Amino acid sequence: MASQSQFILTAFAALLAPAVWWGAAMAQEQDSMSPCRMSEAGRALDFWIGHWNVTNGADEFYGINRIEWDAGGCAVHEYWENREGHRGTSLFYFAVNEDTWHQVWVTENTGLPWGLKHKDLFEHFENGAVRFQGELTDQEGNPFLDRTTLTPNDDGTVRQLIEVSMDDGETWRTSFDAIYERKED
């Protein structure tokens, strides 16, 4: 025979279960309804999320990259490690009031021109690709443009093309061109 306190606890648990379920469902709905995820622009980096092996598209391995959502879809963290073990990280963040993305890239050597970058989303393409661009300064103090184009491919890979321009965008030189293939988790 159950005691009165056991009966009260069982009744309370039965009443609490729907509230717990409802709270979990509301939290999940809030995540999907984040203001950063409401616009098409806020979902522009969806294809970029994942764990990747990075190659030249053939037989040369460049490194690994892990890209993850954070802050309810308002931020994307990138964790890069090249084949020599050098690391870099970036934070992409969505500015709701501007309806656009920005990026800050940081490596272990922020004194080099490519060791610290600030870029803004510069262009959306019809194929889903996005281009970030920023102005950097070389070691002599000369400004140059740096742009990154991320392109989702039909086969599920992503191409990342990084280019620099020393003449204010008249001509561009490739500094990194890679294919990102999803890693088996």
Spatial neighbors of 86 by CB under 8 A, at least 6 apart, are 107, 108
Stretch 82-109: mean pLDDT, rounded?
Answer: 93
The DSSP output letter for 42 is G
Q: Is the pLDDT of residue 6 over 70?
A: no
Higher pLDDT, 20 or 147: 147
For residue 15, the surrounding DSSP H or E stretch is: helix 4-32
Q: Is the pLDDT of residue 25 over 50?
A: no
For residue 149, name the pLDDT band (cuts at 50, 70, 90).
Answer: very high
- Say what the pLDDT of residue 33 is: 67
Higher pLDDT, 61 or 113: 61
Spatial neighbors of 11 by CB under 8 A, at least 6 apart, are none
Mean pLDDT for all residues in the chain: 84
Query: Token digits for 20?
Result: 């717990």
Stretch 52-57: mean pLDDT, rounded?
Answer: 94
Delimit the domains of the chain by residue range: 4-33, 37-182
Q: Is the pLDDT of residue 59 over 50?
A: yes
Q: Is the pLDDT of residue 27 over 70?
A: no
For residue 141, name the pLDDT band (cuts at 50, 70, 90).
Answer: confident
Q: Is the pLDDT of residue 8 over 50?
A: no
The whole-angstrom separation of Cα 22 and Cα 46 is: 27
Stretch 103-132: mean pLDDT, rounded?
Answer: 89
Stretch 61-88: mean pLDDT, rounded?
Answer: 94
Stretch 88-115: mean pLDDT, rounded?
Answer: 89
Spatial neighbors of 129 by CB under 8 A, at least 6 apart, are 149, 150, 151, 152
The whole-angstrom separation of Cα 73 and Cα 55 is: 27
Q: Which CATH number fits domain 37-182: 1.10.10.10, 2.40.128.20, 3.40.50.261, 1.10.606.20?
A: 2.40.128.20
- Say what the pLDDT of residue 22 is: 41
3-class secondary-structure state, position 138? coil
Q: Are 45 and 130 in contact (CB under 8 A)?
A: yes
- Say what the pLDDT of residue 112 is: 75
The whole-angstrom separation of Cα 53 and Cα 184 is: 9
105 sits in the region (left: phi over 0; alpha: psi -120 to 50; else beta) called: beta
> 31 has which bridge partners?
none
Q: Which pairs with CB-CB distance under 8 Å and at least 24 residues apart come from 106-114? A: 112/139, 113/137, 113/138, 113/139, 113/144, 113/146, 114/146, 114/175
Q: Is the pLDDT of residue 58 over 50?
A: yes
The whole-angstrom separation of Cα 102 and Cα 89 is: 14
